[in-house]
Each structure stands twice: as structure tokens, then as C-alpha cells.
Copies of this chain bind each other. A is one copy, B any other.
Amino acid sequence: MISFAEASSTFHALGDPTRLEIVARLSDGESRSITSLSSDFDLTRQAVTKHLRVLEMAGLVTKARIGRESRFELEPRGMTDAREFLETVSKDWDLALGRLQSLVERNSDPG
């Protein structure tokens, strides 16, 4: 399982609208340069660069220098880890609710 620290880092990276949209744009599996990504937003190249660094640190994208370009692509492992974290919490909840439910049924059972 992914650690709490890693999970919160991943969620923090996804918790910005611009970064979330960058991730969504990269979900077509293709790599993009910083300039190319910047053209999608009303932001400076440097601002986008900073966002990409945050995503990279969280393990959500990977960077590759190709010629004079820095190309970024999605690292699906990061997202999978985050999903699994949420699934774990949800399962805990479901389980607890199930126990509660059976407890209620047992108590309301007049047998």
C-alpha cells in the first residue's frame, strides 16, 4: 500500500485546477513539451513549468529531455496508487457499515 505521506502528496498535486487539467490532457498517452502545454492555458511558461515539477515530484508525470524540448507524459502508476488509497478507505467504510447493518438487524430481530 501507498503511504499516507505519498498519498497526500499525490492528492495535493491533483488539488489544483491547472494541474488536474494538465493530467487530463496527458491522458491520451502522448508526451507534450512545456511550450505546447502552456499554449492550452492563459499562463506563463514558467507557471506551467512549476506545475509540471509538482506533478513530477508526486510521481504523476515523467520528464524526458529530447533535443531542445522537455517532454512530459503521464505516469499512470501515480494515479493508480491514489485510486487504490481511496478504495481502501471506501472498503473500510463499507465493511463498517455492513457490520452496523447486521447489528441493527440482529437487534431488531424479535426472535
Contact = CB atoms under 8 A, between A and B. Distances in A.
A24 interface: yes
Contacts of A14: 7-8, 11, 15
15 contacts: A4-B20, A5-B17, A8-B17, A8-B19, A9-B15, A11-B14, A11-B15, A14-B15, A23-B89, A27-B90, A27-B92, A29-B97, A29-B100, A76-B93, A79-B86
Given A11-B14, A27-B92, A28-B96, 16 more contacts: A4-B21, A9-B15, A11-B12, A11-B15, A12-B12, A12-B15, A13-B15, A27-B89, A28-B92, A30-B96, A74-B93, A76-B90, A79-B86, A79-B90, A83-B86, A83-B87
